[in-house]
Amino acid sequence: MAPPQPSDSPVETISDDGAQYGLNDFLEPPEAMHGMDDAQLLWRASMIPRIAQYPFNRVPKVAFLFLTKGHASLAPLWEKFFKGYRGMYSIYIHSNPSFNLSKAAEPQGSVFYGRRIPSKQVRWGHVNMIEAERRLLANALMDFSNKRFVLLSEACIPLFNFSIIYAYLMNSTQSFIEAYDKDSPVGRGRYNEKMSPHITIDQWRKGSQWFEMDRELALEVVSDQFCFPLFQSYCTNACYSDEHYLPTFVTIKFTPKNSNRTLTWVDWSRAGIHPVTYLRPLVTVEFLKALRHGSQCEYNGQSSNICYLFARKFSTDSLIRLLKFAPKVMYFNK
């Protein structure tokens, strides 16, 4: 999908005090680091234009939302992935607040430099994980050119080059949120009856935290005052809201627009509360090829063997091999 070229001649207006304002003054997204609190941010991000046609040459972008503990540990791989595609993507990082004190968390010139947003402490499995995801979406929505939104972690890798992933997302007619009904202690067993009648046990769903969605759904998520308050109140302790909020919310309100699968491959083959972490010896050409084309799924109503665009969890010590294999397996820089 070839993007249109941005306009260099925005319309200008003149205010009562004689100052000139151009279209860019109203469309340019704010810096990633800003002074809004969550209530102000979500309110601002929920705004949508009533006129669908854009009065400028909009380049649709993919917003890459990184939910991390600290540094983007696999940054060199992502640098190669993004190289040559400036203007077709946006990056937002939500990490431990201590990492947001300085832009120096990433080297100047990096695609990650200056892309940290105002963040709050996040605990694994706690509802503040969802608050962080909504915070990322809200920051990305303030850029009108962001059309698709994908959540990633510092342990995620891309399985294809940028052009393939960009086309796959931009041409998709659906969003990608995994949602399934699991009648077990880790599925329906986490439902709290106090959510009824607004959310019933038959509507309760489970799924992967790692989502991809279009702008319309992202707007609904940051504007949600129906499901999310119930999760804040009643999905606590061992409920693990990040596995249930989006699957339940999307199932109740937006099932036809959802593919009901995730684009991020994760290995849960070993027993435990955390997936397999792939260390250097496990990262081989054969393994990466299997992740790229080893599954069958449906894409826009057609059968496809490209089901996962991203994968996790990969350790920092796997980076050397990933950089070595990226050009010949994922076809980076081609």
Per-residue pLDDT at 108: 81
165-170: long-range contacts (C-beta < 8 A, 24 or more apart)?
165/62, 165/309, 166/1, 166/62, 166/85, 166/88, 166/89, 167/1, 168/299, 168/306, 168/309, 169/62, 169/212, 169/309, 170/1, 170/60, 170/62
Torsion of CA 146, 22, 52, 84, to 10 degrees: -30
pLDDT of 8 above 80: no
User: What percentage of the chain reaches a pLDDT higher than 70?
Assistant: 90
Per-residue pLDDT at 9: 39
Which is higher by pLDDT, 167 or 28? 167
Per-residue pLDDT at 11: 43
At 62 the three-state DSSP class reads: strand
pLDDT of 7 above 50: no
Within a 10 A sphere around the Cβ of 218, how many other Cβ atoms? 25
The CATH number, out of the four listed (3.40.1350, 3.90.550, 1.10.3470, 3.40.50), of the domain defined by the range 34-264: 3.90.550
Per-residue pLDDT at 19: 64
**For 56, what's the count of Cα atoms within 13 Å in the CB-facing half-sphere?**
18
* Domain map (residue ranges) of the chain: 34-264
178-185: long-range contacts (C-beta < 8 A, 24 or more apart)?
178/207, 178/208, 178/247, 178/260, 178/261, 178/262, 179/205, 179/206, 179/207, 179/246, 179/247, 179/248, 179/250, 179/251, 179/258, 179/260, 180/205, 180/206, 180/207, 180/247, 180/260, 181/205, 181/206, 182/206
**Tens digits of residue pLDDT in 172-227:** 999 999 999 999 999 999 999 999 999 999 999 999 999 999 999 999 999 999 99
What is the C-alpha separation between 241 and 236, in angstroms, rounded? 7
Per-residue pLDDT at 72: 84
**pLDDT interval class at 56 (50, 70, 90):** confident
pLDDT of 266 above 90: yes
Which is higher by pLDDT, 35 or 27? 35
pLDDT of 285 above 50: yes
Strands (E), the chain: 12-14, 20-22, 61-67, 89-94, 146-152, 157-158, 212-214, 264-266, 297-299, 302-304, 310-312
Per-residue pLDDT at 251: 96
Rounded to two decimals, the pTM is: 0.90
Per-residue pLDDT at 5: 41
C-alpha to C-alpha distances, 228 to 97, 127, 225, 247, 250, nearest whole angstrom = 23, 9, 6, 12, 12
**Tens digits of residue pLDDT in 135-174:** 999 999 999 999 999 999 999 999 999 999 999 999 999 9
